Amino acid sequence: MDDINLLQWQEFGSELEYIKKVIASTLERLEQESVITRIWDRDHSVWNPEPTEISNRLGWLDLAENMPGHVERIMSFTQDVFVSGYTQGLLLGMGGSSLAPELFGKTFDGKQGALQLDVLDSTDPAAVLAWVEKLDPEHTLFIVSSKSGSTVETLSLFKYFYNWLATTVGIEQAGSHFVAITDPGSPLIEIADKHNFRSTFVNDPNIGGRYSALSYFGLVPAALVGVDLPRLLKRAAQMGQDCSSEVTLIDNPAAQLGTAIGVMAEMGRDKVTLVTSQQIASFGDWVEQLIAESTGKSGTGVLPVVREPIEPSGNFGHDRLFVVLQLADDPLIKTALETLKLVDQPTLLLRLKDRYDLGGQFFLWELAVAIAGHLLGIHPFNQPNVESAKARAREMVSEFQKTNELPSEEPKINVSGIALYGDVQGSDLETALKGFLKQDLSGAPSAKSRQSYIALQAFIPPTQANTAALQNLRLSLRDQTGLATTLGYGPRYLHSTGQLQKGDSGQGLFIQITSGHPQDVAIPEEAGALASSLTFGTLIHAQALGEHEALKQAGRRVLRIHLEESLPTGIDHLTKLTKNIR
């Protein structure tokens, strides 16, 4: 299994030989059961006796072969955008509609003549207003991206920015600043027609959102930032050939990676920690959704851990599998590998020649996660728990529009601008926070021997300062507890890790961080109209409360911390309060 198809184990101790033997025997079983052949043949019984949300979710298998026929149209559209003088692009989308575009924008940005592409997937009013300050309305193209065409965040942002353009460039020109990407029959198609969008791309409906990176959802934004689409698709097609049913599983990189993930999860190493070269760091965010939504259900799951610094002083538990993506000969990755060997952690290494190898990585991970799903006995293409928080938030918004009030409760503790809600034990902040973090979950019926993790859910503006403070809090908690930690901004993470957090075996500790909104922003009821019955501040607060209730209903342990003082300062204060947990 050493150094086959860019997938290589790094030595980490005597446990490695046993792991490799189990993986080898599992690959033999998969070969005997013709699992890879059956996947390529679209055999739904690989995962479930029923075809529901499987037979119509396997279109990603052919994208590298089918999408080259659509490249000419994409490039014609892109050229028209450039000739029309657009220099900035802002994609309005969530989850599978936004993560691959964000990756392309951050990884390939800088080509002369291409757009500077960013993603807005927050409903925090400060985040919305920040883009109003940054964007030049005359030269900005908005990509409205939604598979269903009814995603509340995406449509709310569209209506707001349509009205903003109507007042800055004029109602006659506003529609030409928009392009839609959606599925057949979506209400977004009608919206695009009504408001004279520049173009509409209708995607193959047989592709789930998190598997759509190489479809219109990913390739249209990729072309706008100057990605060479034929080159990207060629790399994906090559990986498809390397992972075909013609290849023995011992030589099949997707079979190796998927089997490693599944086998290690069964052994208790169910925290896949992705380490990447900095230039491709956004790939981790895309993988995070793919793994979390695909495996986190039916009381099981593999927790993806991304953007976690690797240092010798880090306190890593024995529930980890590290997967390292090294771009070219990145020396920082070599240092990380040495550190992981020093701390005796199982590590897989994948080498990329250049950024275009990401085309192959999309396919590799999609197939690998589908294989891991088979081994874990779950259905990787549905998301049964995603809707719970959304439904509760919708109920709250509906009630607010009738009563002008959201549900409220008295904080259990409220000191120095920090209020605690939910599962609070203790009479002061420090005691309550430490008490929550020290909870023993081993008595939970479904937890078995699985180790806990800590999830930070931040319903606050996703600024650099807030992110830095949250990362400090996250790493402090990891190093004090030895538990894996994750960090997600709401409502973004609801479309990514939200499924796993409510669908796995329930070992997580969830800390929500919310804040007030000194300056709120109205959401138009209709594009082009001024009437409004809801603000972005109310929407994100309803989403936070809805998620809190959904987690509680799923039996999760959740604490909400509301900060009134300066957010980075308040988060830093939490970090100090939670020192010396043990």
Per-residue pLDDT in tens (0 to 9) along the chain, 582 residues = 333 345 688 877 778 888 999 999 999 999 999 999 999 999 999 999 999 999 999 999 999 999 999 999 999 999 999 999 999 999 999 999 999 999 999 999 767 779 999 999 999 999 999 999 999 999 999 999 999 999 999 999 999 999 999 999 999 999 999 999 999 999 999 999 999 999 999 999 999 999 999 999 999 999 999 999 999 999 999 999 999 999 999 999 999 999 999 999 999 999 999 999 999 999 999 999 999 999 999 999 999 999 999 988 889 999 999 999 999 989 999 999 999 998 889 999 999 999 999 999 999 999 999 999 999 999 999 999 988 888 888 898 888 888 999 998 899 999 989 999 987 888 899 999 999 998 854 443 333 446 899 999 999 999 999 999 999 999 999 999 999 999 999 999 999 999 999 999 999 999 999 999 999 999 999 999 999 999 999 999 999 999 999 999 999 999 999 998 789 999 999 999 988 876
Q: What is the torsional sign of CA 298, 302, 304, 305?
A: positive
Q: Comparing C-alpha atoms, which of 21, 10, 52, 96 is closest to residue 382? A: 52
The residue ranges of DSSP E strands in 438-531, in sequence order, are 453-459, 484-489, 508-515, 522-523
217 within 8 A of 97, measured Cβ to Cβ: yes
What is the value of pTM for the model shown?
Answer: 0.96
CA 496 distance to own-chain centroid = 4
Across 543-576, b (16+ Cβ under 10 Å) vs e yields bbbbbbbbbeebebbbbbbbbeeebbebbebbbe
Report pLDDT for 450: 61
**Which of 459, 393, 401 minimizes the C-alpha distance to 123?**
459
Half-sphere exposure of 158 (CA within 13 A, CB side): 27
What order do you get walking across the sheet with 557-563 strand by strand? 413-415, 418-422, 557-563, 508-515, 453-459, 484-489
Tokens describing residue 457: 């859910």
The conformation of residue 512, written as its DSSP 8-state character, comes to E
Position of tokens 């990514």? 496
Instruction: Provide CATH code, domain 84-227.
Output: 3.40.50.10490
Structure tokens at 534: 């809801």
| Amino acid 478: pLDDT | 94
Q: Is-contact 369 293, C-beta < 8 A?
A: no
Sequence-distant (6+) residues with CB within 8 A of 331 are none
State phi, psi for 93 to the nearest 5 degrees. Answer: -170, 170
- Of all helices (H) and strands (E), which one includes residue 169? none
Write the CA distances from 482 to 81, 318, 477, 479, 485, integer angstroms.
50, 9, 8, 6, 9
Residue 442: predicted pLDDT: 44
Residues in the chain: 582
pLDDT at 440: 59
Neighbouring-strand partners of residue 120: 92
What gap in Å lies between CA 249 and CA 310, rounded to an integer? 31
Please report the pLDDT score of residue 39 as a whole number. 98
Structure tokens belonging to residue 237 = 């097609």
Q: Chain centroid to CA 562: how far?
A: 24
* Architecture field, domain 7-60+234-376: 3-Layer(aba) Sandwich (3.40)
| Structure-block tokens of residue 72 | 């000419």
The CATH number of the domain covering residues in 386-577: 3.40.50
Q: Where in the chain is the domain with CATH 3.40.50.10490?
A: 7-60+234-376, 84-227
Tell me how far apart the alpha carbons of residues 365 and 359 are, in angstroms, rounded to a whole number. 11
- Alpha-carbon span 471 to 124, nearest angstrom: 20
- Report the distance separating Cα 181 and Cα 451, nearest Å: 40
Task: List, in order, residues 6 or more apart from 253 with CB less than 8 Å away.
Answer: 4, 5, 6, 7, 239, 242, 243, 364, 368
Q: Which two tokens stand for residue 180?
A: 């839609």
